[in-house]
Amino acid sequence: MLIDQIDSLPYNLIYQIEVDDCSRARREGHIMLEILSIVLPIFIVFACGFFLKKRFKTDIASLSNVAFYCLLPALVFKTFYTSHISREIGWIILFAVALIIVLLLFTLLVSRCFRYDKGTEIGLLLGSLFGNGGNYGSSIILLAYGQEGFDWAIAYFVIQSMMTNSFGVFLAAQDSSGIWVTLKKTFKMPILYAGLLGFLCKSLEIELHPIIYTPIELLSQAMIPLLMLILGMQLAMIKNFGFMKGVTLGVCIRLLISPLLAYFILMLFPFNELAHKVLLLQAAMPTAVVVTLITLQYNRTPEMVAGIAMFSTLFSSVTVSVLLYLLQ
Tens-digit pLDDT profile for residues 48-105: 988 998 888 788 888 888 888 898 889 888 877 887 655 677 898 899 999 999 999 9
pLDDT at 40: 79
49-58, 135-144, 293-302: least confidently modelled range: 135-144
| Helix 210-236 with 302-326: angle, nearest 10 deg | 100
What 3-state DSSP class applies to 130?
Answer: coil
Helix (H) or strand (E) holding 286: none
Q: What structural domains and CATH numbers belong to the chain?
A: 25-326 (1.20.1530.20)
Tens digit of each residue's pLDDT (9 = 90 or more) over 245-276: 889 999 999 999 999 999 999 999 988 899 99
Q: Which residues contact 97 (CB under 8 A, 6 or more apart)?
A: 163
What 3-state DSSP class applies to 197?
Answer: helix
63-72, 208-217, 279-288: least confidently modelled range: 63-72
Tens digit of each residue's pLDDT (9 = 90 or more) over 149-163: 877 887 788 788 878
Q: How confident is the model at residue 306 (pLDDT cuts 50, 70, 90)?
A: confident
- Give backbone dihedrals phi and psi of 131, rounded to 5 degrees, phi first: -100, 165
pLDDT at 241: 61
pLDDT above 50: residue 14: no
User: How is the chain split among helix, strand and coil, in percent rounded to 5?
Assistant: 85, 0, 15
Shortest CA distance to 131 belongs to which of 302, 10, 280, 2? Answer: 280
Q: How confident is the model at residue 143 (pLDDT cuts 50, 70, 90)?
A: confident
Return the higher-pLDDT residue of 324 and 251: 251
Q: Which amino acid is at 99?
A: L
pLDDT at 248: 92
